[in-house]
Amino acid sequence: MRVIAPGKLVITGAYAVLEGAPAIVVAVDRYAVADTSAPDDVDVRALHDDSSGRKLGLGSSAASMVASQAARALARGEELGDPRVRAALFHGVREAHAHSQQGGSGVDVAAAVHGGVLRYALLGADASIRSLQLPPGLVLQAFWSGASARTSELRARVDALQARSPLALASLRMVAAVAASAVEAQDARAFVRAAREYGRGLDVLGRAADAPIVPPAFAELATLAAGAGAAFLPSGAGGGDVAVWLHLSPPPPGFVERAAALGMRPLSLAIDHGGVRPESPAP
């Protein structure tokens, strides 16, 4: 039997989540797949670009580990929908993934295990994970630049900045809290405003850390989006792979055309609400 684990989009809370701020993460319908007969042989093609084989920036490494460990659990007869099994998967994979990635918050692991829309925050050594719904009327559209980003390098530069300036993430922590509260209040307009401000904060952070968190093409599109009352910001750590459009309406043709001219194309994604689970048999 095969097990699937979804990828993710971190919308707000990148970097600040490591300092206790809440992140909003969405599990998406691109999957890592593992077979119970060979759990280490994980298929992540759906989390890579079909033409180039490059990672799409949707959390393939975390989803791969979750799928692999879940396949082992299923082979032992464990029920993957059992909250206790999922809690054990999360804690085990979070530790292993942090070791392999030299750190990280575990937010991508949470999305792969639980699915849906999550409010994720670190409470010391533990994590608070709460299921939410995106506000009614909110349009989320992901775009991919065609390039993969090195999250570890970006995080190292931000860590170095924070060592020099301990308050470097203070403003992002506050905006992340506002964004999470807007989702909990189901206020789409407030969430878009907070996400737009979060994108600006990521740009400021990147400049201060000498890290390309918001590349020039992303910054140009963020300005265009702001002019339309929308938000356009990197998903997760940024660096040039995936960004998200947030508004009460889809991106207008002019925005999509300019994005294409800058080498960015829309990704067809939907929210995965199931989390890690046995793969449904083909109809």
For 53-93, how does the pLDDT look when each residue is reduced to its tens digit (9 = 90+)?
677 778 889 999 999 999 999 999 999 999 999 999 999 99
Q: Is there a domain that residue 164 lies in?
A: yes
* 124 and 177 together in one domain: no
Q: Is there a domain that residue 283 lies in?
A: no
* 144 and 126 together in one domain: no
* 81 and 194 together in one domain: no
Range of the domain at 80: 2-132+270-278
Q: Is there a domain that residue 234 lies in?
A: yes
Q: How confident is the model at residue 283 (pLDDT cuts 50, 70, 90)?
A: very low
Q: Is there a domain that residue 106 lies in?
A: yes
Q: Is the pLDDT of residue 165 over 80?
A: yes
Write the CATH number for 112. Answer: 3.30.230.10
* 159 and 83 together in one domain: no
* 124 and 10 together in one domain: yes
Closest C-alpha among 247, 248, 253 to residue 266: 253
* 172 and 107 together in one domain: no
* 108 and 154 together in one domain: no
Q: Is the pLDDT of residue 282 over 70?
A: no
What is 212-256 written as a DSSP string? -SS-HHHHHHHHHHHHTT-EEEESTT-SSSEEEEEESSPPPHHHH
Q: What is the mean pLDDT of the chain?
A: 92
Number of structural domains the chain divides into: 2
110-156 per-position pLDDT tens digit: 999 999 999 999 988 899 999 999 999 999 999 998 877 778 788 88
pTM above 0.75, yes or no: yes
* 230 and 274 together in one domain: no
> How high is the pLDDT of residue 175?
98
* 115 and 206 together in one domain: no
Cα separation of 17 and 39, whole Å? 30
Cα separation of 117 and 99, whole Å? 25
CB 211 within 8 A of CB 157: yes
The mean pLDDT value for 27-38 works out to 93
φ/ψ (deg, to 5) at 65: -65, -40
Cβ partners under 8 Å of residue 63, min gap 6: 5, 6, 7, 8, 31, 32, 44, 47, 108, 112
> How high is the pLDDT of residue 271?
97
* 227 and 179 together in one domain: yes
pLDDT cut 90: percent of the chain above it: 76
Triad 55, 128, 68: Cα angle to 5°: 40
Write the CATH number for 149. Answer: 3.30.70.890
| Phi-psi category of residue 4: left, alpha or beta, with phi > 0 → left and psi -120 to 50 → alpha | beta
Task: Name the strand (E) or helix (H) holding 91.
Answer: helix 83-100
198-250 per-position pLDDT tens digit: 999 999 999 999 999 999 999 999 999 999 999 999 998 888 889 999 999 99
Q: Is there a domain that residue 191 lies in?
A: yes
Which alpha helices (DSSP H) does 127-229 contain, by range?
151-164, 170-184, 188-209, 216-227
Q: Is there a domain that residue 8 lies in?
A: yes
Instruction: Tell me if residue 166 falls in helix, strand or coil.
Output: coil
> How high is the pLDDT of residue 111?
97
The one-letter amino acid code at 209 reads A
Q: Is there a domain that residue 209 lies in?
A: yes
* 115 and 147 together in one domain: no
Q: How confident is the model at residue 47 (pLDDT cuts 50, 70, 90)?
A: confident
Cα separation of 212 and 237, whole Å? 10
Q: Is there a domain that residue 101 lies in?
A: yes
> How high is the pLDDT of residue 100?
81
* 31 and 42 together in one domain: yes
